[in-house]
Amino acid sequence: MKLLYPLFFIYNIYDYLKNGNEVFGDIPTVFEFLLFIIFIILYFFESMQIQFEEPIYKSTIFWICVGLFVYFSGNFFYIVLVENSKNENESVRNQLKIVYSIVSIIKNLILGFAIFSHSPTYYNNTNPNPFPQDIDLDALTPNKKIS
C-alpha cells in the first residue's frame, strides 16, 4: 500500500503535465476511486478481525465507510461508463445522470444514518479509566528480588 501512494502521485503529475487543465483526468480519477475502494475494503477486513463489544454496524465509522464505499464504487462505474459512452445519444447520457443521482442520494442517506447510529460514548462514564479497578497490586510479588 505504501508503494501505491508515490506511484499514484507520480502518475497524477505526469497526467497534469501532459494534459494540463484542459481535459478532465478520467484515468487518474478512476485510479483514485479504485484506491479508495481498496482502502475501505481493507478497513472492513481489519475491523472484522478485531473483537468488538458491540456489533460493527452500530458504530458511526462503519456507516461512514459504507456511504463512502457506495459513493466511490458508484462513481467509479459512472466515470467508466461516461468515458465509454461519449459518442452515444442524449438518452444514454440522461440515464447516466439518473444513475449518478441515485448513487448520490443513497450515499447521502447512509451518511445521514451514520449521524444517528449508536456509538459508545465514554464522556458520561463514571469511571473513565478503562482498566479494572479491583486489582490488588500489593498481592503481586516479583520473580526476582530487586536490589
Full-model pTM: 0.65
Report the C-alpha dihedral over residues 125, 130, 133, 136, rounded to 10 degrees: -170
Mean pLDDT estimate for the chain? 77
Q: Give residue 109's pLDDT.
A: 92
Give the closest residue to 19 by CA, choosing from 5, 34, 4, 29: 29
Of 49-63, 106-120, 130-144, give the range with the top mean pLDDT.
106-120
Asked if 70 contacts 107 with a C-beta cutoff of 8 angstroms, the reply is yes
Is residue 25 very low, low, confident or very high in pLDDT (cuts 50, 70, 90)? low
